[in-house]
A and B are shown apart, each in its own frame.
Chain A
Amino acid sequence: QQQVKQSPQSLIVQKGGISIINCAYENTAFDYFPWYQQFPGKGPALLIAIRPDVSEKKEGRFTISFNKSAKQFSLHIMDSQPGDSATYFCAARGVPDKLIFGTGTRLQVFP
């Protein structure tokens, strides 16, 4: 019940395309769902986050879609750029507030 399942494991997208990463969870007590971007040798950087009372949140080229009934959420990266090439992690925050991370998606954007 504490797991967050993330797919796909890796993703190759052409420059200008849309990257979509999906996550699913079981525990309905999770109250906050962030996405982190991590470059090799660096710590995860918060990209965008959503709470379960909101179905969509957009920040620039990044959008989270949240489906509470299906217990699924996804990250959409519009107009993907080579600089977006990184590993992306979804996470869910339990109570009290510890983060449960997905297994990560390695995104490669080719020019």
Chain B
Amino acid sequence: DAGVTQSPTHLIKTRGQQVTLRCSPKSGHDTVSWYQQALGQGPQFIFQYYEEEERQRGNFPDRFSGHQFPNYSSELNVNALLLGDSALYLCASAWGNTEAFFGQGTRLTVV
């Protein structure tokens, strides 16, 4: 079992650009959530996908969008990148409302 896998591991983007991050959930998991973790902070909930629909959303602007595919994998898109978007982006998967397992994250640096 590969667990939750995220790609890429690291990414450097310029202000104003767009970025797409990818997540493959743990085998058997159908729910994917995305979190943003700024340096020295706890993860902040961005949104959650279930059955290819956004089920709920945290306090993040519309520049943050996502998608879930029929195989339960997911993408996080961020448009018009700001310096403040620099963070570790974490994907977590779960089956129903069972324990959530996190991936290793994608470290995004906006310059």
Residues in chain A within 8 A of chain B (CB atoms):
6, 32, 34, 36, 41-46, 49, 89, 91, 93, 96-104
Give 20 A-B contacts (CB < 8 Å), ordered by A residue: A43-B88, A43-B102, A43-B105, A44-B43, A46-B101, A46-B102, A49-B99, A91-B42, A96-B48, A96-B55, A96-B56, A97-B48, A98-B48, A99-B33, A99-B43, A99-B100, A101-B43, A101-B44, A102-B42, A104-B40
Contact call A34/B99, Cβ cutoff below 8 A: yes
In the bound complex, CA of A101 to CA of B102 (Å): 13
Residues of A within 8 A of B6 (CB): 43
Decide: A46 near B41, CB < 8 A? Known: A96-B56, A98-B33, A98-B56: no
Contact call B43/A89, Cβ cutoff below 8 A: yes
Residue of A nearest to B102 (CB): A43
Chain B interface, number of residues (Cβ within 8 angstroms): 28
In the bound complex, CA of A99 to CA of B99 (Å): 10
- Number of A-B residue pairs, CB cutoff 8 Å, is 59
Contact call A44/B99, Cβ cutoff below 8 A: no
In the bound complex, CA of A100 to CA of B44 (Å): 7
In the bound complex, CA of A34 to CA of B105 (Å): 19
In the bound complex, CA of A109 to CA of B36 (Å): 28
Interface check B104, CB cutoff 8 A: yes
In the bound complex, CA of A43 to CA of B94 (Å): 15
Residues of B within 8 A of A32 (CB): 97
Interface check B8, CB cutoff 8 A: no
In the bound complex, CA of A66 to CA of B91 (Å): 28
Task: Please give the distance in Å from A41's CB to the nearest CB on chain B.
Answer: 8
